[in-house]
Amino acid sequence: MSNSNAFPEALEGANHTYCNSLTSYSRFKTRVVDVGGVPMGGSNPIRIQSMTTTDTMDTEGTVAQSIRIIEAGADYVRITTPSLKEAQNLEAIKNSLRNKGYSAPLIADIHFTPNAAELAARIVEKVRVNPGNYADKKKFAVKEYSEKEYQLELERIRNKFVPLVQICKEYGTAMRIGTNHGSLSDRIMNRHGDTPNGMVESALEFVRICEDEGYHDLTLSMKASNPQVMVQAYRLLTQRMIETDRDYPLHLGVTEAGEGEDGRIKSAVGIGALLEDGLGDTVRVSLTEEPEYEVPVARLLVDRYSSRQGHAEIKSPSGVVLPYNPFDYLKRKVNTVHNIGGDNVPRVIVDCSAKGSLAPKDLKSFGYNYDSSLDKWNISDIACDFLFTNTFLPDFDLPGTLGVICNLDQWKNNKDIPGFYPFMTAKDYIESKERHPHLNFVYVTFPDITRKLLDLLKMDNSAVVFSDTYNDHGMAEQRRLVIELMENDVKAPVIIGRAYGDLTEAQLQLYSATDVGGLLLDGLGDGVFVADETHQRDELVNRTVFNVLQATRTRISKTEYISCPSCGRTLFDLQETTAKIRARTNHLKGVKIGIMGCIVNGPGEMADADYGYVGTGPGKITLYKGREVVQRNIPSKDAVDALIQLIKDHGDWVEQ
């Protein structure tokens, strides 16, 4: 097989055979891999896992935390194994768990230490290796490899890796080959670049070695802190497997997702976009929190698909070539209609339709705070762009940045008032002679599309499609709607509209992040409308939408933190330190700060951050600007101040 399998970096269209179907939900069928009697892949349930954050040499603490993870509902427990001594202690941990009646399979997480992996494979049910650093030390070296030099590098890797493969075969141990965007080898970086294609090739180098040894008990992962990169890499991997007759199970995760709502929404965007297309056999949500808190989040994401089959039929696209490239982000080219579409960021529309009336104080939930003493509006970074009122209009002066969308009849009676725009059904749009000269919202579901509607939209530079879906497989149906517009050269911007009924707060956030985020990752949305049918959680919904836009990198409204989960490798209190850094920097809109507990993924993930704060020894921190080291081994007590100074020195600091 060739070692160079480049994919086009930017195409107007691409083959979509990375999944069974873009319109009919079904899981991509993978081989069954037994992991200590809890098999994954095939028709088995999508498995949930988490990872301990304790020092692996702390047997009692690791056992106690493993029990909490298992009792939270995880199928597997992963334990960091940075050196031989931790590998040796896995036996004590496993024995203690079994003696207490817990049989969940254990996974050893290995990075730089082949000897630790080889011992761990004799003890636990599965080992995870990172192909970027298992046999390589990252030097960020720039080098042109001749084909002979490249083959010699592969032979060197083979010699280091084959002993582990043989042990896994002998002991019946499964293996995950887990690529991380932040730790690609210099060899991969020089030939394939810091790309999803490089991530895929990094894993396949190790897969080929396993296959040459007759070993196939593999799962594969393509984790990145950027959901866009992560989704593209998994799609490429799956397509490559299909092309080469491979069927290994997929482990899904967004690495260094962070904490709280940010981490949950970021994870849902990436993991959910893949689950929607039937990809994924095991899931880990990586939060900078206690690991048992990860499990319910993963469970909510996964359980949504237990009854997805049997949804209403969605007409398939006309061919296998899509009008967009699912392996490379390129925003759909659309008209600029008022402040929607074109080069504008996605606009946020909030639902006020059930209120019947509005007072200035009601807009606080949507980012607008009225100061009556000064008769001024204070506008936050997460202020919505439009209010959807439907049957009524506000009777007070609104901020100039805020538009109002009302139904066609209401608009007709008030069409001379600036900032008010009509909302009409597809039928009304076709039949009505009255329209706003600049901006008209046309409510369309995929079954509404007719030749007449497409022809009118194609000629109308004032139309914005307000999409909605009633299909259980809603994200796929809305994607299909946009594909139909693209195939018919309709350049009207599209608002992604979703309404949710009887959901918990957690479900509302995770489901909307999946449904809306998956479309934004493919450049298929120009605005977002999320309606909570309880009509009682306005602030939550508005905040969630802006978090989804942030996670998809389509509209930046705040500081972004790329923060890894704690684990036994972490060299400082990650949760406490993250909280300290957030408290002092959360006003730096658009700045990305990486907070890494150790060196494993630190330098590589710094490529996706503006500034990096990385543990490099007990009580020692190294600061990065991008990938470049700026200050080494700063005492922890001084490191946050030093980070602030670094941000100031590079001109990215603003006073609150």
- Can you give the pLDDT at residue 15? 61
- Can you give the pLDDT at residue 159? 95
- Can you give the pLDDT at residue 599? 61
pLDDT digits (tens, 9 = 90+) for 229-277: 999 999 999 999 999 999 999 999 998 777 789 999 999 999 999 999 9
Q: What is the mean pLDDT of residues 75-80?
A: 97
Report which of 106, 163, 91, 107 is spatially closest to residue 134, judged by C-alpha positions: 163
Q: Are 108 and 120 in contact (CB under 8 A)?
A: yes
Residue 281 reports pLDDT greater than 70? yes
Give the tokens for residue 33: 């891999």
Q: How confident is the model at residue 2 (pLDDT cuts 50, 70, 90)?
A: very low
pLDDT digits (tens, 9 = 90+) for 88-104: 999 999 999 999 999 99
What CATH number is given for 560-649 in this structure?
Answer: 3.30.413.10
Residue 558 reports pLDDT greater than 60? yes
pLDDT digits (tens, 9 = 90+) for 116-143: 999 999 999 999 999 988 877 666 566 7
- Can you give the pLDDT at residue 5? 37
What letter does residue 586 receive in the DSSP assignment? T
Give the tokens for residue 495: 């608002």
Residue 445 reports pLDDT greater than 70? yes
Q: What is the mean pLDDT of residues 170-197?
A: 91
- Can you give the pLDDT at residue 7? 35
Residue 592 reports pLDDT greater than 50? yes
Domain 336-551 coded CATH 3.40.50.720: no
Q: How confident is the model at residue 571 (pLDDT cuts 50, 70, 90)?
A: low
pLDDT digits (tens, 9 = 90+) for 616-630: 778 888 888 887 888
Q: Maximum CA pair distance of the chain?
A: 79
Q: What strands, in cross-sheet order, belong to the sheet with 620-625?
A: 560-563, 592-596, 611-617, 620-625, 628-635
- In sequence order, what DSSP letters do the residues of 275-327 get, joined into one string? HHTT--SEE----SS-GGGHHHHHHHHHHTTTT-TTPPP-PPPSSSB-SS-TT
Q: What is the mean pLDDT of residues 406-429?
A: 95
The CATH T-level fold of domain 47-252 is TIM Barrel (3.20.20)
- Can you give the pLDDT at residue 573? 67
Query: How far is Cα 533 from Cα 334, in angstroms, rounded to an integer?
Result: 30
Q: How confident is the model at residue 576 (pLDDT cuts 50, 70, 90)?
A: confident
Q: Are 603 and 590 in contact (CB under 8 A)?
A: no
Residue 55 reports pLDDT greater than 60? yes
- Can you give the pLDDT at residue 11? 38
Same CATH topology for 47-252 and 336-551: the answer is yes
Q: What is the mean pLDDT of residues 37-57?
A: 97
pLDDT digits (tens, 9 = 90+) for 348-407: 999 999 999 999 999 999 999 998 888 889 999 899 999 999 999 999 999 989 999 999
- In sequence order, what DSSP letters do the residues of 144-167 get, joined into one string? PPPHHHHHHHHHHHHHHHHHHHHH
- Most confident segment among 187-201, 273-287, 308-322, 630-644: 273-287
pLDDT digits (tens, 9 = 90+) for 503-541: 999 999 999 999 999 999 999 999 999 999 988 999 999
- Can you give the pLDDT at residue 566? 53
Please give the mean pLDDT across all residues of the chain: 91
- Which residues share a beta bridge with 422? 406
- pLDDT above 70 covers a percentage of the chain that reads 93
Please state the φ and ψ torsions of residue 222, each to the nearest 5 degrees.
-135, 70
Q: How many C-alpha atoms does 178 have within 13 Å on its Cβ side?
A: 26
Q: Are 567 and 559 in contact (CB under 8 A)?
A: no
- Can you give the pLDDT at residue 655? 82
The residue extents of the domains of the chain are 47-252, 336-551, 560-649
Where is pLDDT greater, at 202 or 2?
A: 202
pLDDT digits (tens, 9 = 90+) for 454-507: 999 999 999 999 999 999 999 999 999 999 999 999 999 999 999 999 999 999
Residue 105 reports pLDDT greater than 90? yes
Query: How far is Cα 619 from Cα 633, in angstroms, rounded to an integer?
Result: 8
